[in-house]
Amino acid sequence: MAGGWAKDGAEQEQMESTLEDAVQRARSQLPRGESLDVCEECGDPIPEARRKAIPGVRLCVVCQQELDKKQSAFSGYNRRGSKDSQLR
């Protein structure tokens, strides 16, 4: 049940838009194109098995793990939320 300035179903719309934003963010980070033979960060060779498993890969496993750690701190705050839900 929505209250205040929010219309009925606003909570569901907010959850759906948050999920859609997360999916778009994940898709934008998928590798594209041809895989590199060497890591673009450190210059170490990327194993053939990794290049075959992840088409378009650009980082070695170690550098990818470091990037993943940095990105895990991302906050999925939904800026589309109603003013009413932000005031609580």
Q: What is the pLDDT of residue 40?
A: 94
* Residue 10 contacts residue 82 (beta carbons within 8 Å): yes
What is the CA 22 to chain-centroid distance, rounded? 6
* Residue 18 contacts residue 76 (beta carbons within 8 Å): yes
Residues in the chain: 88
Residue-wise pLDDT tens for the chain (88 aa)? 445 666 777 788 888 988 998 899 888 877 788 999 999 999 999 999 999 998 899 999 999 999 888 877 665 555 555 555 555 5
- Which 3 state secondary structure label does DSSP give 25? helix
Quote the CA–CA distance of 28 and 30 in Å, as a whole number.
6
Quote the CA–CA distance of 65 and 16 in Å, as a whole number.
29
